[in-house]
Amino acid sequence: MNKLRNIFKSGNIAVNGWLHIGSTWSAEALGLQGYDSLTIDMQHSMYWLDTAIPMIQAIGGSGAVPLIRVADNTPGEVMKMLDAGALGIICPMIEDREQCEKFVGAVKYPPLGYRSLGPTRPKFVYGADYTKRANDEVLAIAMIETKKGLENVDAIVSTPGLDMIYIGPGDLSLTMGIPGSLDSQEPEFLAAVDTIVAACKANDVIVGIHTNSAAYAKQMQSMGMQFVTLSTDTNLLTSAAASMIGDFRK
């Protein structure tokens, strides 16, 4: 059901794409380019549930794993996205163990959590036994992207049922008072990455990060990442357009 699980178990790295554009066509087109997963961003995009559900369908048809970043740590939103067919939820701004337990509980069915039973779409798409398999296959992914989250990383990653930590470099840099955001080479930021990776490895939790280039993603892989996001659909579109227009005007 969730091929990311097999990638992680084999010790390989998963390549994720990031979708700001509310389009089933762009989601499907990117899914066919070789991404292992695509994340629908419900936090910093400009679309809602009625757009996200067809995007999940398009991603699934492309062969990529559909993930969703929810807007915040709201159990009802988390459960609704899972019932729409997301195979993983990324939750922003997790800063302590209590917040992480609340999030993970919404992702997992009892006895591991308190997710309500109602797999509206998944039981048709993933099989009648979806409910039995969901806790082992659906990913609970907590974002550490603040100084407070970094300070509490050991408590956060020890949360039962947590599958992955996803580092948000922009907000983490901002709250640490470090200049720059994506693809930072600031020693303090890289030290923070090392701290998070070490905590994850000690608790058998996967760790991933958002990057803006293949070169930086490779650097992060060498530091222990098993999940990297390569830019966003908006950045890919605008940078390609700017490059082509610039070449022509020269």
pTM, full prediction: 0.97
The pLDDT of residue 49: 87
Contact 209, 172 (CB under 8 A): no
Identify whether the C-beta of residue 207 lies closer than 8 Å to the C-beta of residue 198: no
163 neighbors 136 (Cβ within 8 angstroms)? no
**Which tens digits make up the pLDDT trace of 75-113?**
999 999 999 999 999 999 999 999 999 999 999 999 999
Per residue in 139-197, pLDDT tens?
999 999 999 999 999 999 999 999 999 999 999 999 999 987 789 999 999 999 999 99
Output the CA–CA distances (angstroms, integers) from residue 5 to 153, 169, 175, in the order listed.
23, 24, 32
What are the residues facing 143 on neighbouring strands?
Answer: 166
Catalytic residue among 44, 132, 148, 201: 44
- Report the percent of the chain where pLDDT is more than 90: 96
Q: Which domains does the chain have, with CATH numbers?
A: 3-240 (3.20.20.60)
Is residue 184 classed exposed, middle or buried when 0-12, 13-18 and 19+ CB atoms within 10 A define those classes? Answer: buried
Tell me the two tokens of residue 158.
Answer: 């020890």
Residue 44 annotated among the catalytic residues of the structure = yes
Q: Which two tokens stand for residue 185?
A: 């080479």
Q: What is the pLDDT of residue 46?
A: 87
The answer to whether the beta carbons of residues 204 and 184 sit under 8 Å apart is no
Q: In whole angstroms, give the CA distance from residue 154 to residue 207.
A: 13
What DSSP string describes the chain?
Answer: --HHHHHHHTT--EEEEEE-S--HHHHHHHHTTT-SEEEEESSSSS--HHHHHHHHHHHHHHTSEEEEE-SSS-HHHHHHHHHTT-SEEEES---SHHHHHHHHHHHSPTTT--PPS--TTHHHHT-TTHHHHHHHHSEEEEEE-SHHHHHTHHHHHTSTT--EEEE-HHHHHHHHT-S--TT---HHHHHHHHHHHHHHHHTT-EEEEEESSHHHHHHHHHTT-SEEEE--HHHHHHHHHHHHHHHHH-
Tokens of 25: 């066509």
